[in-house]
Amino acid sequence: MTDESDEFETGASDAEETARPDADSRAAADEAAGDATAADAEPETSAAATAESTGAESTDAAGGDSGPDAEDAVPEDVQKYARFKKVDGAQYDRVNDFLRERTYVTAREWAIARLCADFRTETGVEMTKIGNNLPELVPFMTDTYTPQAVNQARSAFRDKVRKSGATFLYGAMSGFFTAEELDEMMYEVTEIAKFLLEVEGVDLSVEEELEAEERISSVMREVREASTDLRKEELSDEE
């Protein structure tokens, strides 16, 4: 797979980082514009973030500890968290631009969605822990988040994946693409997905990559064939 890690090497200055607008107001503006704007900057979280979402899940048992020692202490599982090490030192803008050119999600949504999957317990997602320790967990995130801001980013990620999936599947089922074009498209998007997994710390062998590509291509061929048969049946019924 092509090494695209140099895309993350440089980015915005520290002054630009601190000048960015509020997390939730910027995220809301992105959603209202249909994500048609350029890459959104890494946001700061403030008290206003609590107005954005009321359904955040929080299972951080230490939430009741308000003493300075409890606030300063970094949980052991946070210290051991080893994802995103391949982008250590990268600036948010550089990562965000890379994602915006290839996907519909922002760096903020990508990182937080990954953390929500990794810090899930039997009773829910540890959103308070994620938000309080975001800079320690993700190298290119420089601010802490409220649980509501974490929940908002996760919800935005899910919505975009759902819409992107529906768009892609419709394109695959509609007959707009030949089998060869679908294979080429699947190869390109699979390469991007694998690269993001590797940035997260997943180590894929060549055999695993080839097996994954073949399984995905096989499924897409079946989808195309089934949708072709379905369209033919509908046409014959109309006649």
The three-state DSSP-derived secondary structure of 151-191 is HHHHHHHHHHHHHHHHHHHHHHHCCCCCHHHHHHHHHHHHH
How far apart are alpha carbons 204 and 60 in whole angstroms? 32
pLDDT tens digits, 34-72: 444 433 444 444 333 443 444 444 444 334 444 445 456
Strand partners, 22: 44
Our CA dihedral for 140, 145, 45, 68, rounded to 10 degrees, sits at -110
How far apart are alpha carbons 96 and 106 in whole angstroms? 6
> What is the residue-level pLDDT of the chain in tens, covering all 239 positions?
545 545 555 443 333 333 334 444 444 444 444 444 433 444 444 333 443 444 444 444 334 444 445 456 899 999 999 999 888 888 999 999 999 999 999 999 999 999 999 999 999 999 999 999 999 999 999 999 999 999 999 999 999 999 999 998 898 888 888 888 888 888 898 889 989 999 998 887 888 888 887 888 788 888 878 888 877 776 666 65
Query: How far from chain centre, in Å, is Cα 71?
Result: 27
Q: What's the chain's average pLDDT?
A: 76
Our CA dihedral for 128, 25, 10, 187, rounded to 10 degrees, sits at 80
Q: For the chain, give every domain's residue range.
A: 76-238
Which residues are CB-neighbours of 28 under 8 A, at least 6 positions away?
52
pLDDT tens digits, 156-168: 999 999 999 999 8
Is the pTM for the entire model greater than 0.75?
Answer: no
How open is the CA angle 186-161-143, to the nearest 5 degrees? Answer: 120
How far apart are alpha carbons 35 and 105 in whole angstroms? 9
Strand partners, 121: 124
